[in-house]
Amino acid sequence: MHEADNCFLHGFHPKKLRFLVLRAALLPSEEGELIAMQSALYLVLHPFNVCTNTSCATISHMTTKRRCRVSYPQEYVTYLVHFHGDRDYFECHEILEEYWKKTSPGDKQSHWVGFIQLAVALYHQRRGNGKGALKTLQKSLNILQCKKTETLNLGLNYSMLMQLLSELHERLLQGKPYEHFILPISDPGLIKECEALCLSKGLAWCSDSLLHDPFLVNKHSLRDRSEVIEERARILSMKNAGR
């Protein structure tokens, strides 16, 4: 029997191994990791039948990289917890806006702005402000549809997100009432992190919105703004003193 028939890559000729290793990086994590591990094993058993540009170290690095846990900004994780835990879209806006101002101030086409606007759109829809929700969601769509890489790097399924946003847009056009929105998180590790943070806050992951909670629905007008007012007064005083 020809050596290639015994290859761990199910019939692929050894000369195609380098291509398969590179292709593994583009596959879903489990399938890609399987090919990478099989390739590494084949290299050990057949070190002289493979292109010298491909090494066990390269494959091992790729496999290890897949196993490494991705780290996300804490503000983003907190955003997800409020988005799915207590459905506090106003808090989602506050948290992510502060992070956006620190990381990419002035960039109104940032993907962070897109997610901020999504939370604002849902806040408007829940309050019955369909016109405001539609206008804000359109802005969110315009940004996020151009941010595939950034969206994927946030552990989200980009294609599914676009589909869900389009469906929400259609619901708003038809004047349909609010329904809770679930972001398509594709990273199991991120989900576990969010669930743990939810638990620590006494929240339930992916719970329904409390539609009859006036503070949640109208938080922009009912929240305690004393700290905000004091901070603005302090900044104004400093500006006046510097004149």
What domains lie within the chain, and their CATH numbers? 3-67 (no CATH), 74-221 (1.10.3450)
Both tokens assigned to 200: 């620590």
pLDDT at 115 over 50: yes
pLDDT score of 98 more than 50: yes
pLDDT at 34 over 60: no
Q: What local confidence, expressed as pLDDT, does residue 135 receive?
A: 97
Q: Which of 28-37, 109-118, 144-153 has the lowest mean pLDDT?
A: 28-37
Please write the tens of the pLDDT for every residue from 56-95.
333 333 333 444 568 999 999 999 999 999 999 999 999 9
Per-residue pLDDT at 192 exceeds 80: yes
* Higher per-residue pLDDT: 53 or 136: 136
According to DSSP, the residues that pair with 185 across neighbouring strands are 156
Residue of higher predicted confidence among 119 and 234: 119
- Across the range 40-65, mean pLDDT stands at 40
Residue 170 has pLDDT above 50, yes or no: yes
Check whether 55 has a pLDDT greater than 60: no
Q: In the chain, where does DSSP find H-type helix?
A: 17-24, 29-45, 56-67, 74-84, 89-103, 111-126, 130-144, 148-153, 158-173, 188-200, 214-217, 219-222, 226-241
CA-CA distance, 50 to 71, in Å (whole number)?
Answer: 35
CA-based torsion, 86, 195, 77, 228: positive or negative: positive
pLDDT of residue 223: 59
